[in-house]
């Protein structure tokens, strides 16, 4: 891959993608969405993808858009303070983070390595939400407030999952090879099934499964599987 000026390339991809996926909210209203798609395709084909791959990526923008619309809906329905979906798009950091993540994840699946990581780190700096582009996240996903959330590389998150601020979905340990170096690429982060809620400042570590419909209360440390429908809270003395 040609990684000349990778940070500038990532910035251009983020700017164009946001203006394509939410044209009434980002970018300018002078150029049409179709024109911006062509600009993005040319940028990708020139710098990081083949022409065929760039065409494929552009064709997948509709699917990314549909997923993002479900994320907007989840944020709107999950917050009584939200007065409109426009407010969600303009003001809620989760949407900015998810635009970058969903674009980055698609590029990563196409074999691009550095640019996806830069895209999600840009969103991390902007929103306080740290999502690795390798994570797999289903539709209707939302993060309330968002600051301090960490989602690791091999996380798998189902549909209709909600996290609150300060949640960590991380690795419990790092297996080492014979030279004492961390083994890369192995599944080491949690799986959250559909309809899970994790409240603020909870930490879930390791390749464990939080079952469908489980609720994890605030400030809880989880390192073992959680049964579907379970309610995990701190004990009171």
Model confidence pLDDT, tens digit, residues 14-43: 999 999 999 999 987 778 999 999 999 999
For the chain, residues classed under CATH 2.160.10.10 are 148-237
CATH number of 1-128: 1.10.3130.10
**pLDDT tens profile 103-113:** 999 999 999 98
Give the residue-averaged pLDDT of 115-123: 97
108 to each of 52, 111, 112, how far by Cα in Å?
Answer: 16, 5, 5
Give the residue-averaged pLDDT of 193-218: 98
Confidence at residue 185, expressed as pLDDT on a 0 to 100 scale: 82
The sign of the torsion formed by the CA atoms of 11, 17, 18, 24 equals positive
CATH number of 148-237: 2.160.10.10
Query: How many other C-beta atoms lie within 10 A of the C-beta of residue 81?
Result: 6
Give the residue-averaged pLDDT of 66-78: 98
**pLDDT tens profile 177-191:** 888 888 888 999 999
For the chain, residues classed under CATH 1.10.3130.10 are 1-128
């Amino acid at each position: 891959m040609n990684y000349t000026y990778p940070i500038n390339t990532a910035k251009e991809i983020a700017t164009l993608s946001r203006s394509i996926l939410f044209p009434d909210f980002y970018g300018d209203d002078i150029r049409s969405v179709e024109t911006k798609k062509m600009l993005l395709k040319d940028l990708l084909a020139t710098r990081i993808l083949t022409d065929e791959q760039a065409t494929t990526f552009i064709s997948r923008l509709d699917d990314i858009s549909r997923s993002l619309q479900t994320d907007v809906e989840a944020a709107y329905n999950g917050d009584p303070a939200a007065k409109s979906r426009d407010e969600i798009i303009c003001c809620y950091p989760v949407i900015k983070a998810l635009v970058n993540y969903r674009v980055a994840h698609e590029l990563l699946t196409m074999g691009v390595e550095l640019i996806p990581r830069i895209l999600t780190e840009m969103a991390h700096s902007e929103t306080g939400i740290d999502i690795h582009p390798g994570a797999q996240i289903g539709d209707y996903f939302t993060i309330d407030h968002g600051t301090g959330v960490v989602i690791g590389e091999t996380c798998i998150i189902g549909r209709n999952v909600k996290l609150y601020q300060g949640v960590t979905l991380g690795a419990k340990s790092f297996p080492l090879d014979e030279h004492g170096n961390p083994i890369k690429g192995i599944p080491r982060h949690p799986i959250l099934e559909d309809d899970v809620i994790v409240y603020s400042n909870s930490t879930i570590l390791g390749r464990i499964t939080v079952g469908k419909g489980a609720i994890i209360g605030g400030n809880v440390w989880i390192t073992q599987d959680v049964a579907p429908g379970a309610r995990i809270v701190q004990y009171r003395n």
